Amino acid sequence: MAAEYDLRPVNSRPGFFAYLRSLWQRRVFIRAFAKASVDKQTTKSRLGQFWQVMDPVLTMALYWFLFGFLLGGRGSVENYTGFLAVGVFTFALIRQSVTAGSRSISGNEGLVRSIHFPRAVLPIAVVTKQLRVFYYALPIMIVILLVTGEPITWQWLLAPVALLLIVMFSLGMAMIMARIVATVQDISEVLPYLLRIWGYMSGVMIPIADRLDRLGVPPWATFIIEVNPGTVYLNCMRDALMDSYLSPGGWINWALAAGWALVMLPLSLWFFWRAEDQYGRG
């Protein structure tokens, strides 16, 4: 009877390509789930979406005071305020996607245990939610760039390409961490600190590669910093939006950005799918 009516256990794993088809069939639900999550979060406070915008703004103000004013980072680039704005707003999307995505399975165990659906829906919905939050803050970043003297050029057309690659990579990271945290939940307590260190090493606040060169860091260490995905994606977004700044590597950054995204997303989806029948078992 189970075979006749296509009844399956809640914890079952279909074939990989059948799994992908199932995810595509639920694309409308993913968008609705993400929108509902944003609406729920914003209605909890009186100012609603205001706080979604103010989080990166306040973070940027703090970093500007610490790294730009106290530590003299303003002299490292021509338009330090614009440089910092792109770094903070863009890396916030990556950081929040990975952090929230890591808890997408462990934080929804009741749903996972009671309903049969492809579990990858949850990290995908979480990253979609973070992308919506980024859209709310995006006008502020653009205003900062314009006010600080950055002109609108044809290169701005590359920003959506950079954003797409960033989302693809962030989704991959979110799915990897979702599987790991579903098994070892203590990892979620350490993850925010690791992501913060990653942000520092990716040049959110200052051009990290130039600083390492001046400190006499070995070339191999500088190379690792320059090709790490955090640095690469920030370089791409800055190259697209800032006429006053040209990142080291130029178009090599775009090749690396595409490579990281195109490798990370399918491999992470396969990695996540391999444990599909284990989620929700405690």
pLDDT-derived band at 266, boundaries 50, 70, 90: very high
Report the predicted TM-score, pTM, of the whole model to 2 decimal places.
Answer: 0.90
Confidence band for 217, pLDDT divided at 50, 70 and 90 = confident
Indicate if the pLDDT at residue 4 is higher than 70.
no
Alpha-carbon distance of 248 to 257, in angstroms, equals 14
Report the percent of the chain where pLDDT is more than 70: 90
Give the Cβ contact number of residue 176 at 10 Å. 20
Confidence tier at 33 by pLDDT (50, 70, 90):
confident
CA 63/CA 125 separation, integer angstroms: 30
Looking at residues 118-142, what average pLDDT do you find? 93
Question: What letter does residue 146 receive in the DSSP assignment?
Answer: H
Compute the residue count for the chain. Answer: 282
Round to whole Å and give the CA distance between 254 and 249. 9
> For the segment 6-31, what is each residue's pLDDT rounded down to a tens digit?
445 555 678 899 999 999 999 998 98
Residue 187 makes CB contacts below 8 A (sequence gap 6+) with 102, 177, 180, 181
Contact 215, 208 (CB under 8 A): no
Please tell me the predicted confidence (pLDDT) of residue 59.
86
